[in-house]
Structure 1
Amino acid sequence: MSRAIKHLIIGGLIMTISVPTAATANEDDLKLDIVNPKNLYDPSPNGYSTAVIVPRGARLAYISGQGGQDSTGALSPDFAVQVKQAYANLRTALDALGARPHQVAKLTVFVVDHDMSKLEVLTSNVKDMFGAALPAQTLIPVPKLAIDPMLFEVEAVVVLE
């Protein structure tokens, strides 16, 4: 927030005060700073970043877990189909906020019966959506999710402009 200088005349005295003013943030002011320290394993080939710094004064939005349901609530039994649909649902939620993928600071993904064979599907979908601006991410293997046929869920923390 910037400050404006105001002059007040009180009883013949001129007083100068600094008053906070609303500032309009531009896109560079709210840019996420992605950090992948050189002395740590580079996670970017796996579709995430080590850390993301949110700019001071930014507003955050939290998107609830998005599963692989289509608009009718139907779930494919196929893991890859559910992951693709979940990221499409996340994109729809971002659109509803007026946000874009580069504004996502953090993802948490939940995978039912996770094994290494699922990483390629996950990494491919994250890279398709986020490109080089990979958010911080945590994968949590779980035995089941809210609805039995669900195999995948993704939630996000978003910096709003």
Structure 2
Amino acid sequence: MSSNKPHAWNPPGVPQPPATYDQVCVTPLLPAAKLITLAGQTGRNLESLTSISSDFATQVRGAYKRVLDCLKATGATPRDIVHVKHYIVTHTGQKELDGKDIVDRGWGDLWCEFMDKEGEGHRPPDTVVGVASLAKGGYLYEVEVMAVVNE
């Protein structure tokens, strides 16, 4: 990227989003650094906007896989993440899941596992938000990531 302007695009291996946004944006900060912002990533399948498991942990793992795919497409790794936002649907209709506070639903253990494996144990600051719903029915979890890479 030779421009000093933000460059947004959709990397291969990541679901095609609606026309309102691209999955990844790289913004030069200094001559030797860039800010990478990812759209909220979910566990949906590549083939369909609506194809998603009803299993919370499966959705979470899928979202982290999408984060990894997006970061790799920019030359970044999870070790470069500077901030994370986790969005968790509060009332899913699943009694066992809804009986737990959003911080106790298992996504945190999966995040730590992901960051231990892919991010050298890095623990960037995060925000956890309980929400009424996400973009599509059936989505239970979404994660937003920002990273900085020094070139």
Which bin holds the TM-score, normalised by the shorter protein?
0.5 to 0.7
Q: TM-score, normalised by structure 1?
A: 0.61
Partner of 2:101: 116
Structure 1 residue 119 displacement after superposition: 2.6
For 2:44 and 2:71, how far apart are their aligned partners in 1?
17
- In structure 1, give the amino acid aligned to 2:111: V
Structure with a larger share of its residues in strand: 1
Larger Rg: 1
SS at match of 1:68: coil
CA RMSD of aligned residues (A): 1.8
Change (3 A) 1:117 1:153: closer
Counterpart pick for 1:93 among 60, 66, 70: 70
Query: Which consecutive residues of structure 2, in runs of 5 or more, have no partner in the other structure?
Result: 1-28, 91-97
CA distance in 2, matches of 1:145, 1:129: 23
Q: Give unmatched runs, 5+ long, in structure 1.
A: 1-55
Give the equivalent residue in structure 1 for 2:35.
60
Instruction: Encode CA deviations 1:127-154: one digit per residue, 9 max, x unaligned.
Output: 1221221111000000100101100000
Q: TM-score, normalised by structure 2?
A: 0.64
Counterpart position of 1:12: none
| Number of aligned residue pairs | 106
Report the counterpart of residue 136 of structure 2 in structure 1: 147
Distance 1:126 1:140 in 2: 15
Partner of 1:36: none
Q: Give the alignment partner of residue 76 of structure 1, picking from 53, 63, 80.
A: 53
What is the aligned-residue identity percentage?
27
Looking at structure 1, the residues matched to 132 and 111 of structure 2 have their Cα atoms a distance apart, in angstroms, of 22
List structure 1 segments (4+ residues) > 4 angstroms apart after TM superposition. Answer: none
